[in-house]
Amino acid sequence: MRGVDEESGEFLGRSRGDQRREALAVLDLAELLVKQPHARLLQLPLNDDLVALVVEAQRITAQIAHKRQVGFLAKKLRREDDEYLEAIRSALEHDKADSRRENASLHRLEALRDHLIAQGDEALAEVLQEFPHADRQHLRQLARNAREEKLRNKPPHAFRELFRALRELQQEAPEDE
């Protein structure tokens, strides 16, 4: 049989299924690269030839031609070392994890701001426990102004200012600890 060592009976190399799975994983990576904005591509550990291929695939709008170009990009990626492909994947995953953490942090701050506006001094006490270096009077005034803006259907100036103040407090907190 082809691909099997006659003496030991072990397979000599990867199976066809493994090769196909690896090729499809590289094709997925190529499609993911094509979806990235140009500025993000320049941050990734890609060589100039691959960046040019990705930009070319992004430029093509015809469906079949685009698919063909992505396939060509995948073919070029398959010729690269496994370590190189893994570095690209890890850079993309690292970006996703950072983005998720940042989004969760912003959502938490938005909820804290809404809680401050709705509850007033009780919520302010909770905020001051979390951020002891915060200016109580400034936060109270911003929350009061944001509440008034909401009641009078005015533009959300204090609403945004309160969010900025909370974000600054959050950014200062790790430095103090």
User: Is residue 92 included in any domain, yes or no?
Assistant: no
User: Is residue 6 included in any domain, yes or no?
Assistant: no
Structural domains of the chain, count: 2
- Judge if 171 and 111 occupy the same domain: yes
Question: 159: how many CB neighbours lie within 10 A of its CB?
Answer: 19
- Judge if 106 and 170 occupy the same domain: yes
| Rounded CA separation 55/73 (Å) | 10
Domain of 167, CATH number, reads 1.10.60.30
- Judge if 65 and 107 occupy the same domain: no
Residue-level pLDDT at 94: 79
Q: How many residues does the chain have?
A: 177
Residue-number span of the structural domain to which 145 is assigned: 101-176
Contacts of 171-175 with CB under 8 Å at 24 or more apart are 172/131, 172/133, 173/130, 173/131
Helix, strand, coil % (nearest 5) of the chain? 80, 0, 20
pLDDT at 176 over 70: no
- Whole-model pTM over 0.85: no
pLDDT at 175 over 60: no
- Judge if 67 and 118 occupy the same domain: no
Q: Is the dihedral of CA 17, 18, 21, 27 positive or negative?
A: negative
**pLDDT tens digits for range 80-90:** 999 999 999 98
**pLDDT tens digits for range 111-152:** 999 999 898 888 888 888 888 888 889 999 999 999 999 899
